[in-house]
Amino acid sequence: MHLDSTWIHNFGKFKMVLDSNDRDVSDQIKKFGWYKDEQTTTKVFEQYLKPGMIALDLGANIGFYTMLARSLVGPEGEVFAFEPSPDNTNLIRASVKENSFENVVVVEDAVADMVGKTTLHLSPEYISEHSLHDYNYSSGPKGSQKKIIVGATTIDYFLKNKAGNFKVDFIKMDVEGSETNVLKGMKETLNQNKHLIMITEFWPNGFYLSRSTPEEYLRTLQKLGFKIFHIDELEQRVYPVSVNQMIEIVEFRIKNQVEKNKITKYGDYYTNLLCIK
């Protein structure tokens, strides 16, 4: 984070420190005054997050959903923001300070299925695309993509040893293809919280690149007791889907380039799911 490239945006219920070097969230907010690509997802947050809730933001990026969640759970709730990139966590901490939020805990670790150290591959294009998996984002010479060593934790380990209990009401997860592994690291958390609500990114190519499949992820969610809903930004509605229906939606939109703002230049389509136990 460079102070000369940052500015503060006031959303009314909260403020954010944004950075002109961020070509994703900061850029959208600068142009439109909101996170335009995920307006329906934002409404889901507003519908389900209530005062006093405990929320986890897994893959917090620069903290848009962290600040939104804190504005909704209020001073009696709590938000834990997990983000391994030091540049991104600096922005989150700056936003926390700007809002004088005392109940936001910033955890500078990647969430995974293990505790220790791991490699974070840095996207040269979007700071929201840093990943534990090497996706060869760089368009430059082979090996030019940067990587750093970061801490890693499981949600079960963190909640048991750091927070002191497994109480969680709401989880947002966007970890660039590592979602299946993250689920493996929070089995106890999922078991302890019978009425958990979760929003998760669904990026099929990310699953393939991380040696999983989108079908495996969807069926894992079902086995864990979640009902799955598609947060459809194109149609601006939320509706239940089966595994096969979700796969068909993805395949159709990639083939027909239906939702172009959700299709990367690599031809990868991504969207969000609402999962309710």
Closest residue by Cα to residue 274 from 223, 240, 244, 248: 240
Asked whether residue 52 is domain-assigned, the answer is yes
Q: Which two tokens stand for residue 249?
A: 């939606």
DSSP structural state of residue 128: G
pLDDT in tens, 63-87: 999 999 999 999 999 999 999 999 9
Phi, psi of 214 (to 5 degrees): -60, -35
Q: What is the pLDDT of residue 263?
A: 57
| Residues in the chain, overall count | 277
Gap between the terminal Cα atoms of the chain = 38
The answer to whether 174 and 58 are in contact (CB under 8 A) is yes
Query: Does the structure show a pLDDT above 80 at 265?
Result: no
Residue 2 lies in a domain: no
Reported as a single tens digit per residue, the pLDDT across 222-259 is: 999 999 999 999 999 999 999 999 999 988 888 887 77
26-to-61, 92, 224, 233 alpha-carbon distances in Å = 11, 12, 35, 19
Q: Of 37, 10, 11, 13, nearest to 23 (Cα)?
A: 37
**Domain count for the chain:** 1
CA distances in angstroms from 259 to 43, 168, 175, listed in the order given:
19, 33, 21
Q: What pairing do the DSSP bridges indicate for beta strands 116-121 and 197-202? A: unpaired
Task: Specify the pLDDT at position 71.
Answer: 98
Alpha-helix residue ranges (DSSP H) falling in 142-194: 155-158, 179-184, 187-192
Residue 4 lies in a domain: no
Q: DSSP code of 269?
A: B
Asked whether residue 6 is domain-assigned, the answer is no
pTM above 0.85, yes or no: yes
Read off the CATH number of the domain in which 45 is found. Answer: 3.40.50.150
Reading the block at residue 22, the tokens are: 């961020």
The answer to whether residue 3 is domain-embedded is no
- Please report, to the nearest 10 degrees, the dihedral formed by the alpha carbons of residues 130, 82, 26, 11 taken in order: 160
Span 157-192, pLDDT tens digits: 999 999 999 999 999 999 988 999 999 999 999 999
What is the predicted pLDDT for the residue at 245?
97
**What residues contact 22, with CB distance under 8 A and at least 6 apart?**
62, 91, 126, 127, 128
Distance CA 136, CA 77 (A): 39
Cα 41 from Cα 274, distance rounded (Å): 9
The answer to whether residue 88 scores a pLDDT higher than 80 is yes
User: What domain range includes position 185?
Assistant: 12-276
7 inside domain: no
215 contacts 243 by C-beta, under 8 angstroms: yes
